[in-house]
A and B are shown apart, each in its own frame.
Chain A
Amino acid sequence: MAIDIYKINPEFRDIMPKEIIDLEENATWAQNQKKPRGIKEMPDTKEILEEHSLCAGCPEAAALRYVLAALPKPEETIIVNSTGCTSLMFPHIALHTVHSLFGNQNAVATGIKRVLDWRFPDIEKDVVVLAGDGATVDIGLDYTLQSFFRQENITTICFDNEVYANTGGQESGATPKGQVFKMAPTGKKFEKVKMWELATTAGCHYTMNMTASAPKAVAKAVREAILVAREIGPTFLNIYTPCILEIGLSANEGLGEMKDQDKDRFASYKFVSPEAEEFLKKCKAEGKL
């Protein structure tokens, strides 16, 4: 794909701010790196501008860096996102992204993936959906599940913060029962929708529920999910990225919250279909993992 859209014309390099130059030189695509990039290279790479639009200490910013660092072929990847906190970050990364209408992300990703496969039959193109729980579990549930039913070759990642955060704190389907938010003052009346179980039932070949507390675990899951989606069928990752503002934590408490939830609502759940398991063994033998 044309990464030229992120290459600054040499005539203007002297007037561009340093963080934009840094993003061009050390961003997500692999050919800038001396060796294949991954989670270990994060200290030397720059997935997102420092002055991104998320709140200070927001775990989503860290989780996005883990996801981007783990993409097997960033130059051949398109991320489809939807309305929500996640959509605020995408103008500040150097990777092709498409913003869809709220909830439509899996339908849009389906179209993009099919056209890419038709247009570039000899090149592996990865389409990754990255949206919040409102877009995935509530407003876009139909589109999400239908893409799983149709066995589309896309990876869906839900950054689950259990709330509509950037609109002021309304409950979502992913909110746990009893949770009170500013705009849900009487507390959630029903249980959290276990989207990862729905995804497995709907036909996903690789499903995980986890938090973003462990970068290596997130990176491994992302890489495996994308490889499986490329060859076998739909995959789904539900990653807890708490909204520290809405649950009353300070900027340095996000990681602790995720670690706590590793043993609770986001206790590890992993489903890998037999075909996907076989394929991942092959990938490991070939050194792709």
Chain B
Amino acid sequence: MANQGPAYYSPYPAAIYEGVITPPEGKALLLEEVVDEEIAMREIAKQMLTKENATIFPGPQVLYGYNDEAKKKATLIKEMAEVLNANMIPMYDYRPKYPKIDAEIEINPNHPNLTIWHNNIKAAIFIGVHCHYANVALKMVRCETDCYTIAICGLSGHEDAMATLRDQHSSELEKFIKIAREVKAELKL
């Protein structure tokens, strides 16, 4: 008798089926390990500073200036990109793009692997992407690329990312930028 649950219908392996869940409040997730937020921030900065073609993917929640927090985050993300020497490619539209996307200038959650392949991105930060689309995109990227994915999330985080920071608002981004500067100095970059 077949006794398989809905997990087996998923075309992609999802972290949650391997027992990886989002970190508790005040903590972060590095691969499958729950760690202190600061430890995760240091590792994230190191990955972004040392991996090839590190890129930040800002989503609609920060691309558009619909409130003060979004405007402040935009300024901080720009600063973050400068500190991390990272490129930025926007995820501005969640609809599937046909016949094809321009992988050089945009990323789409329905086929995010195309942008990562095209630009040979080995580390990427997802920020300001609505959770349900981040979940979709991160599963695909996790399965189909060797990109080290980082979710900087305003809510509970994303277990499908290699590193997850949760409850990240502008004050936490400021803290991350400060740590990233320290790591950059340590790495003599």
Q: Which residues of A contact B (CB under 8 A)?
A: 2, 4-12, 15-17, 20, 51, 53, 91-92
Q: CB-CB < 8 A to A9: which residues of B?
A: 62-65, 70-71, 74
Q: CB-CB < 8 A to A51: which residues of B?
A: 97
Nearest B residue to A6, CB-CB: B64
- Establish whether residues B90 and A16, one from each chain, have CB atoms under 8 Å apart when the complex forms: yes
C-alpha spacing A92/B90, complex, angstroms? 16
How many A-B residue contacts, CB cutoff 8 Å?
56
Q: How far is the CB of A115 from chain B (nearest CB, A)?
A: 20
Q: How far is the CB of B49 from chain A (nearest CB, A)?
A: 20
- B78 adjacent to chain A (CB < 8 Å): yes
- Establish whether residues A11 and B74, one from each chain, have CB atoms under 8 Å apart when the complex forms: yes
Q: How far is the CB of B174 from chain A (nearest CB, A)?
A: 15
- B102 adjacent to chain A (CB < 8 Å): yes
Q: How far is the CB of B103 from chain A (nearest CB, A)?
A: 12
| Interface residues on chain B, number (Cβ under 8 Å) | 25
Residues 80-116 (chain B) with a chain A CB within 8 angstroms:
88-90, 92-95, 97-98, 102, 105-106
Q: CB-CB < 8 A to A91: which residues of B?
A: 93-95
Q: Which residues of B contact A (CB under 8 A)?
A: 58, 62-67, 70-71, 74-75, 77-78, 88-90, 92-95, 97-98, 102, 105-106
Supposing A9-B70, A9-B71 touch, asked if A16 and B63 sit within 8 A by C-beta, the answer is: yes
C-alpha spacing A9/B77, complex, angstroms? 11
Nearest A residue to B94, CB-CB: A91
Q: How far is the CB of B137 from chain A (nearest CB, A)?
A: 17
Q: How far is the CB of B89 from chain A (nearest CB, A)?
A: 7
- Establish whether residues A12 and B93, one from each chain, have CB atoms under 8 Å apart when the complex forms: no
C-alpha spacing A9/B74, complex, angstroms? 7
Q: How far is the CB of A94 from chain B (nearest CB, A)?
A: 11
Nearest A residue to B79, CB-CB: A11
C-alpha spacing A91/B105, complex, angstroms? 19
Supposing A11-B75, A15-B105 touch, asked if A53 and B65 sit within 8 A by C-beta, the answer is: no
- Establish whether residues A15 and B66, one from each chain, have CB atoms under 8 Å apart when the complex forms: no
Q: CB-CB < 8 A to B66: which residues of A?
A: 2, 4-5, 7
C-alpha spacing A5/B66, complex, angstroms? 5
30 contacts between A and B (CB under 8 A): A4-B65, A4-B66, A4-B67, A5-B66, A7-B64, A7-B65, A8-B63, A8-B65, A9-B65, A9-B74, A10-B74, A11-B74, A11-B78, A12-B58, A12-B63, A12-B74, A12-B90, A15-B88, A15-B89, A16-B63, A16-B90, A17-B90, A17-B92, A17-B105, A20-B93, A51-B97, A53-B95, A91-B93, A91-B94, A92-B95
